[in-house]
Amino acid sequence: MNILAVDATGDVLSVAVGTFVLSQSSKKHDEALLPLVERILKKAKLDWKDLDAVAAASGPGRFTGIRVGLSFAAAAGFQLGVPAIAVSRLAAAAGRAKGPRALAAMPGWKDEVYSQEFVRGKAKGKAAWTAPDAWPALRAAAERRGLEVVYADTGAADLLGPARAALESGKLPPFEPFYLKPAGYEKPRG
């Protein structure tokens, strides 16, 4: 199964297909994405028509980057007649867990930590953000509950496993952005 994955949610734009991964620091992900995808397809010796699905990081992450990646996946999927799959970056991080129960976590805005509990790859409860000084206590509480804490900043390659699992199950997640925080969010001053 040939799945193209794109992650435009952070400073580094990344794309993956099979075992091939390319990344590029870019301020303009919308301009850099298509050339990067064409490079990886060439490197993997694949044509657009060889793709079975296109996956994109749905968040959490930068508001504009989420929209760039999802728009690309939706347009490519439509044009190719293949599924477009939105993959939560927290689900992608949970995919790195060795055991069945995990607290997936990743760096967030201004050193906050985004996290969500997963059981056998399925989200349990809502995702949350934690202030930097509160993260150690949350982590310790999760570990006391027997959760494997997987703290990772994900990229396109991490999206491939959850996208493949969704395709194989026939149950695609909703194709929508995953905004953990509202756009333009600022901490209250006080």
Over pLDDT 70: what percentage of the chain? 95
- Confidence tier at 183 by pLDDT (50, 70, 90): low
Q: What value does the mean pLDDT take over residues 119-124?
A: 93
Look up the CATH superfamily of 3-88+154-169.
ATPase, nucleotide binding domain (3.30.420.40)
Domain locations in the chain as residue ranges: 3-88+154-169, 91-151
Compute the radius of gyration of the chain from its Cα atoms.
16
C-alpha distances in angstroms, 169 versus 146, 157, 173? 27, 20, 11
Quote the pTM value.
Answer: 0.91
The predicted-structure confidence for 144-181, as pLDDT tens digits, reads as follows 999 999 999 999 999 999 999 999 999 999 999 999 87
Question: What is the rounded average pLDDT for all residues in the chain?
Answer: 93
What does the pLDDT read at residue 116? Answer: 98
Give percent helix, percent strand, percent coil of the chain, each to the nearest 5: 40, 30, 35
